[in-house]
């Protein structure tokens, strides 16, 4: 798998000297001073860059989109929740992909804000609810979960409940919508399955240089889930959430689709919230080598060449402005570069200011377990690369205050 995490640079004094590309100066050198200039010029050119040179473009439109309510029940979680399972079908060139959204909504509220997030091993892993079918899609093998043939089994039901504080969400008036990411695009280095082949022309077997890798495909899946969610009468707002590689996808979905009311990046690291030019922990070369299918092919020209990147990840975060954005790190997750994630949120805040919103003013990393919450929020919590109840508690406090 390419590089060992232990070989990376974790020494602050070895971070190369670099100049961050300025958010408020266009690629051609013009100063950006108003919201209008940001929206019409600078935001647009940054978005284009990320689209063509980093994550890759979605190569066209679907021929057909449909959703089907597979099942609905109002007795989930001891009667606290209404459960819905919705199948989304995407069609193009006579090919189709179907994926399932598992939704829990707090019954006490007729409409509720919802966190939308991908899970890593199947919808049945986030809950012990026996009514959630085991995914039939390809899953990564995992010894601890007893997955050896890329198939999930009953044995994996509920194995990831600790990452999804569902009862807490329900008690706080939030819902959850979750999707197994492998149903949208299996996370392996080929382009023969998932949504990519739907868009191929005859004889084509992989996306073109500037076209979508898997992160962009996952972000597309989130947007298409939003096509359903925004029409569900029990849902008021959707906050897109993701952990790690799925945090990268959540950020890109939030940047490209303004219907997401808020965005949460949990330990998203390299290619997510962390600044690439710091080359701290995982680097562009490492990520493109270990996961050659995640980004557009064109991103590979920045392997060990971050210096020449005309953008950095604070600009990805700025694309989300003025919508609420939460970036979270974990103290032991040095591979994801907590300081780089923090600085990104700090630098992106200048665009929030343009909109009269408050962000992270200080460039000094807050103490562990001391969240700083404005429209842009950040925390670094004790512990490892993971999603914990602590993380969800902070997200809910922030969402209650800053969500429209």
Binding site for ligand GCU (CB under 6 A): 244-245, 269-270, 282, 287, 290, 335
Q: Which is nearer to ligand GCU, 100 or 334 (CB)?
A: 334
Q: Which is nearer to ligand GCU, 120 or 395 (CB)?
A: 120
Q: Determine the length of the chain.
A: 404
Q: Which is nearer to ligand GCU, 137 or 246 (CB)?
A: 246
Name the DSSP class of 221.
H
Q: In this structure, what token pair is assigned to residue 303?
A: 């392997």
List the catalytic residue out of 244, 268, 329, 344.
244
Beta pairing, strands 175-180 & 376-381 = unpaired
Distances (CA, A) of 121 to 142, 163, 369: 10, 12, 28
Q: Which is nearer to ligand GCU, 177 or 284 (CB)?
A: 284
What DSSP element (H or E) covers 68? strand 64-75
Least Å distance, CB 290 to ligand GCU, is 6
Query: Is residue 244 flagged as an active site residue?
Result: yes
Least Å distance, CB 289 to ligand GCU, is 10
Question: What is the C-alpha separation between 304 and 210, in angstroms, rounded?
Answer: 19
- Nearest alpha carbon to residue 218 among 58, 89, 328: 58
List the catalytic residue out of 66, 298, 358, 385.
385
Least Å distance, CB 302 to ligand GCU, is 15
What DSSP element (H or E) covers 228? helix 214-229
Give me the sheet containing 81-92, strands edge to edge: 64-75, 81-92, 95-106, 175-180, 112-119, 235-243, 262-266, 325-330, 376-381, 372-373
Least Å distance, CB 187 to ligand GCU, is 9
Least Å distance, CB 22 to ligand GCU, is 27
Q: Which is nearer to ligand GCU, 245 or 379 (CB)?
A: 245
Least Å distance, CB 140 to ligand GCU, is 11
Burial (CB count within 10 angstroms: exposed 0-12, middle 13-18, buried 19+), residue 289: middle
Asked if residue 138 lies in contact with residue 189, where contact means CB atoms within 8 angstroms, the answer is: no
Q: Which is nearer to ligand GCU, 106 or 269 (CB)?
A: 269
Q: In this structure, what token pair is assigned to residue 180?
A: 């197994």
Alpha-helical (H) ranges within 232-367 are 245-256, 284-290, 313-318, 338-354
Least Å distance, CB 381 to ligand GCU, is 16
Q: Which is nearer to ligand GCU, 89 or 290 (CB)?
A: 290
Cα-Cα end-to-end distance for the chain: 43
Question: What is the C-alpha separation between 103 and 234, in angstroms, rounded?
Answer: 11
Least Å distance, CB 270 to ligand GCU, is 5
- Nearest alpha carbon to residue 271 among 301, 304, 233, 244: 244
Residue indicated by tokens 């299996």? 186
Q: Which is nearer to ligand GCU, 278 or 357 (CB)?
A: 278
Query: Is residue 150 flagged as an active site residue?
Result: no
Q: In this structure, what token pair is assigned to residue 62?
A: 């679907």
Q: Which residues are catalytic?
A: 244, 385
């Amino acid at each position: 798998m390419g590089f060992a995490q232990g070989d990376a640079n974790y020494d602050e004094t070895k971070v190369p000297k670099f100049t961050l590309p300025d958010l408020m100066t266009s690629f051609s050198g013009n100063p950006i001073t108003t919201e209008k200039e940001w929206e019409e010029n600078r935001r647009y050119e940054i978005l284009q860059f990320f689209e063509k040179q980093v994550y890759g473009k979605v190569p066209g439109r679907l021929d057909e989109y449909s959703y089907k309510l597979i099942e609905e029940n109002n007795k989930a979680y001891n009667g606290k929740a209404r459960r819905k399972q919705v199948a989304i079908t995407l069609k193009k060139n006579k090919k189709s992909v179907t994926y399932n959204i598992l939704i829990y909504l707090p019954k006490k509220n007729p409409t509720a804000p919802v966190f939308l997030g991908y899970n890593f091993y199947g919808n049945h892993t986030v809950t012990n609810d026996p009514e959630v079918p085991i995914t039939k899609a390809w899953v990564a093998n995992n010894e601890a979960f007893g997955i050896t043939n890329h198939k999930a089994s009953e044995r994996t039901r509920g194995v990831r409940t600790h990452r999804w504080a569902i009862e807490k969400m329900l008690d706080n008036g939030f819902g959850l919508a979750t999707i197994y990411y492998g149903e949208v695009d299996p996370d392996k280095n080929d382009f023969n399955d998932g949504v990519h082949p739907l868009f191929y022309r005859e004889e084509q077997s992989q996306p073109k240089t500037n076209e979508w890798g898997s992160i962009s495909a996952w972000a597309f899946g989130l947007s298409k889930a939003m096509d359903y969610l925004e029409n569900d009468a029990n849902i008021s707002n959707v906050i897109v959430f993701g952990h790690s590689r799925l945090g990268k996808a959540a950020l890109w979905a939030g940047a490209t689709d303004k219907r997401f009311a808020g965005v949460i990046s949990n330990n998203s690291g390299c290619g997510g919230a962390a600044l690439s030019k710091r080359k701290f922990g995982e680097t562009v070369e490492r990520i493109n080598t270990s996961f050659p299918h995640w980004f557009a092919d064109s991103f590979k020209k920045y392997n060990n060449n971050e210096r020449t990147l005309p953008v950095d990840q604070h600009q990805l975060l700025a694309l989300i402005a003025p919508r609420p954005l939460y970036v979270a790190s974990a103290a032991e997750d040095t591979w994801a570069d907590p300081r780089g994630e923090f600085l990104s949120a700090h630098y992106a805040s200048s665009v929030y200011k343009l909109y009269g919103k408050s962000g992270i003013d200080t460039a000094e990393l807050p103490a562990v377990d001391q969240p700083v919450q404005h429209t842009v929020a950040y925390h670094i919590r004790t512990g490892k690369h993971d999603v914990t109840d602590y993380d969800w508690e902070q997200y809910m406090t922030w969402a209650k205050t800053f969500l429209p």
